[in-house]
Amino acid sequence: MSERITITIDGKQINTFKGANLLRVAKDNGIPIPSLCYHKKLSPTGACRLCLVKIAGTNGLTASCTVQVKEGIDVIAFDDELEILRKNLLDYLVSEYSEENDNSYHDEFWELLKRYQIDDKLNRKYSSVKHLFKTQLDDSSPVLTYDSSKCIKCFRCIKACEEVQGKSVLSFTDRGISSYIIGGFGVWNESECDGCGECIQLCPTGALVEKPHRNEIDINKIDAKIKTTCPYCGVGCQIELWVQNGKIVRSIGVENVMPNDGRLCVKGRFGYDFIQSKDRLINPLIKKNGKFEEASWDEALDLIAFKFNEVIEKYGNESLAGYSSAKCTNEDNYIFQKFIRTVFGNNNIDYCTRLCHASTVTAMLRSIGDGAGSNSIEDFETTDCLLVTGNNIIETHPITATYVKRGVAKGMQVIIIDPKWTPLVKYAKLWLQPRLGTDVALLNGMIRYIIHNELIDKNFISNKIDRGWDAFEELKSLTDKYTADYTEEITGVPQEKIIEAARIYATSPTSMIATGMGMSQQVTGTNNVFSLINMMLICGQIGKERAGIDPPRGQNNVQGATDVGASPINYPGYIPIGNDENRRKVAGIWGVPFESLSAKPGLTTVEIAKAAYDGKIKALYIMGENPMVTDPNLNHVKNAFEKLDFVVVQDIFQTETTAYADVILPAASFAEKNGTFVNSDRRVLRVRKVVDSPGLARQDWQIIQEMAQRMGKPMKAFRDESEIFDEIAAVTPMMAGVRYNRIENEGIQWPCPGENHPGTSTLFLEKFNTPNGKAKLNPVDYIAQNEKVNIDYPFLLNSGRILYQYHSATMSRKNNSLNAFANESYVLMNPADAYKNNFQNGIKVKLVSERGELQTILQISDEVLEGELFMPWHFSESPVNNLTRDELDPLSKIAPLKLSACRVERVMF
């Protein structure tokens, strides 16, 4: 901010900054000027008039919320005249207002009435006029209720929606005293509202209230309000969970801390009911004669220990594998990988990151040395240009998207590359819609334009790129054939758009890239990202603040799980297992013989299933994963799992995968755990225990430790999660300086190499994390897809996620509030294709690929190109992965979940 100044309020000298908001300065300095329409996250409105003050030299009274302070101003905030006026204003307001209150919300208005002693009707001057006008009640939304009789028309909800969330869904209707707030044409659930509830959080009265648990919640009887980290996507929003009678009854966004500063999406605010679902696993279950029977922990763990040891004895160490979990904490994942490496004695540990950003991480590690996002979430608001590619950011990372939308309002230019329309298109300067699987060609075309028009950063190429101009020349000659015509021919994108996109990206003072599953989940996934990085490097759009590449992570702890070593090739901190020195160091900290740690790279997710099919893997230990929905070519996975001798699944629910288990172990959910997650911008965030686990459910890491003990290979015993984290910090150089006591209030972004290090908001400012500190260009050619359409399979199917569900939906679908928004599978088809096939909207269809088939509902939509289809993959009754391939990207072993040739048939009733 600008220069420091001194102002006076009621005779008190206050140091502040020029231009600061007077009301905020007063409140921050303990001068309790009353207000209702003002909120520090919103632009001032000046509607309620309660914050009126006198400013020396200014005639009359001024609403302090509208004043930007200047040096030396002298303010009277409290005197008899002002207080009488405020009391009168409140008295007027309350005469139009309904005083019914069910104690389910915090009422700022009522607090002021008490403060001015007019909560008692006998003390008021004005009688109620409420009965003179019509009031409106909109109860149509699944998550909130609007009652105009409680509404003081302060604008906070409208501004919360527009300024904080960037959605602008709400508005006023009618005039004067009978005006009220509406969504849509007056019916909330028919509006664009996506249920994030920001308006509820900022409503000062009870006009907008949450619907879930409203009948039971009493804000005077809340037993605990505990801050923790949201368990859904990789944004890592800080939430405060309210507990009443041992039950979670509300989730609100924590203000003033990153990454979300109080903002939440519909999942963060209304997606917590799964925790106390009646479907939670509460007992260990053992399959006997094809049926699961309840068992004690002793019985279950002894059986597992016996069986795992038996497999080791019979088939050797290499015949076991583990899937760890992006939904579990760092502490759980750390113990899990240690278990696989020291108890199983191999490196066969992977998880669904393999099917997520493995290719992105592979390309980034090879080019720039780190696979994590180079920027901070707040940079999504302040960069000049954002290139969003294959990333439906509004639906998959709703809070990151709020920063983007706020940036657009201030002039940021957004360029979208996506074969499918996404809601961000409404905010974008440009939308390039390439055919599925043609990304490398498109990017090479942009690179060629940038090179030929001298939009490159020569300094950067000379100083920051490995082999400098030689490497550049290689890229130049490889991309030379991607002329505008040729690129348009392959991708279908009009060349003017390709040129404009290249120009904006290259010439903006700072440009950032958000890259998602559309780029990564392809057989050429790594090449796609190489291409993207090549363009970024020659433009010098990294290595400075607000520039770089960011892969928003899909799950809450995808970043952290890999950071702490849930990887077949890396120890915690991305330390390669193959290196003797690394193994010696890790063996020392873990207190195991160096020789006992295998140097052989382990199998990846899809490879584990294939090895099971081939009889090479005999036993599988799955923690918090649901491969029977998430893995490609599910029919093959089923066959593979059926061949396994012994499967243990540890989860919070029965899933499609537990059906294949021999033993199911009940685990604690995130709300029953202490620990940490790492979010997409590398923030190590605290997870805190809010409620007790149901039944006999236990902490994941404790189950693993107990299992090791019973297998006769005890691991170091930890007393609690903070002790585990201390060991993580010891093994993981980039988290060396992080301790629980440092992240109590707000997370720290790694790398944080020392206890006095503040963490790092932007990577690569000085150098890249490669051996010589320089970035590498990796020129790649466009390779046409093997999977092509033909007469039998004339469509290309794309898949993805939607806002209201999450991953394989084991958690999200246990929430009625979320299901009320979206609970049904569908496939999108272009209107021209529907017309050609004589298909009508809403008919039941069968999709068939070479691998399998499924049934779903047809939706006709111009969101997809002709010849292409799109399906959300959350819904296990229409499992998209029946259709997908398990062919792998050779470099990263990711599967091409975004492109499957298939046909569509009408299902006759």
Residues that bind other proteins (CB under 8 A): 167-175, 182-186, 191-192, 426
Give the nearest distance from C-beta 150 to other proteins in angstroms.
Answer: 19
Which CB sits closer to other proteins, 379 or 395? 395
257 strand-pairing partners? none
Query: Partners of 646 in the beta sheet?
Result: 619
| C-alpha–C-alpha distance, residues 645 and 618, integer Å | 5
At residue 809, what is the residue type?
A: A
- The least distance separating other proteins from the CB of residue 864, rounded to whole angstroms, comes to 18
Distances (CA, A) of 55 to 6, 9, 460: 14, 9, 54
Least distance in angstroms from the C-beta of 69 to other proteins: 33
Least distance CB 97 / other proteins (angstroms): 22
Distances in Å between the Cα of 477 and the Cα atoms of 335, 488, 780, 781, 837 are 48, 19, 11, 11, 44
CB nearer to other proteins: pick between 174 and 299: 174
H/E stretch holding 816 = helix 816-821
The distance of closest approach from Cβ of residue 169 to other proteins in the complex, given in angstroms and rounded to an integer, is 5
Toward other proteins, which CB reaches closer, 283 or 433? Answer: 433
What minimum distance in Å lies between the beta carbon of 427 and other proteins? 9
Q: Whole-number minimum distance, CB 195 to other proteins, in Å? A: 15
Reduced to 3 states (helix: H, G, I; strand: E, B; else coil), residue 583 is: helix
What is the closest distance, in whole angstroms, from the C-beta atom of residue 172 to other proteins in the complex?
A: 5
Residue 192 or 223 with smaller CB distance to other proteins: 192
Give the Cα separation of 783 and 280 in Å (integer): 46
Least distance from other proteins to the Cβ atom of residue 175, Å: 6
Separation of alpha carbons 68 and 54, rounded Å: 14
**What gap in Å lies between CA 161 and CA 803, rounded to an integer?**
17
Alpha-carbon distance values, 861 to 701, 842, 866 (Å): 46, 11, 10
C-beta closer to other proteins: residue 158 or 685: 158
- Residue 280: DSSP 8-state: B
401 vs 880 by CB, closer to other proteins: 401
Nearest-angstrom CA–CA distance, 334 and 341: 11
Smallest separation (angstroms) from other proteins to the CB of 138: 11
The two tokens of residue 62 are 């001024």
H/E/C letters for each residue in 802-813? CCCCCCCCCCHH
Q: How far is the CB of 792 from other proteins (least distance, A)?
A: 37
Return the number of the residue (185 or 909) whose C-beta is nearest other proteins: 185
Of 184 and 831, which CB lies nearer to other proteins in the complex structure?
A: 184
> Which residues lie below 8 Å from residue 263, measured CB to CB, with a gap of 6+?
164, 165, 196, 198, 237, 253, 399, 402
Buried b (16+ CB within 10 A) or exposed e, 882-891: bbbbbebbeb
Token representation of residue 441: 């060609």
**What is the spatial distance between Cα 401 and Cα 863, in angstroms, rounded to a whole number?**
20
Least Å distance, CB 834 to other proteins, is 20
Rounded Cα distance between 13 and 652, Å, is 57
Here the tokens at position 214 are 């409203």
Residue closer to other proteins (CB basis): 194 or 261: 194
Q: Which one, of 204, 201, 106, lies nearest residue 153 by Cα?
A: 204
Residue with tokens 């919070």: 652
The residue (of 174 and 384) whose beta carbon lies closer to other proteins is 174
Cα–Cα distance for residue pair 488/235, rounded to 1 Å: 35
Please name which of 149, 2, 142 lies closest in space to residue 68, comparing C-alpha atoms.
2
Cβ-based nearer residue to other proteins, 175 or 410: 175
Closer of 179 and 635 to other proteins (Cβ) = 179
Write the single-letter amino acid at 592.
V
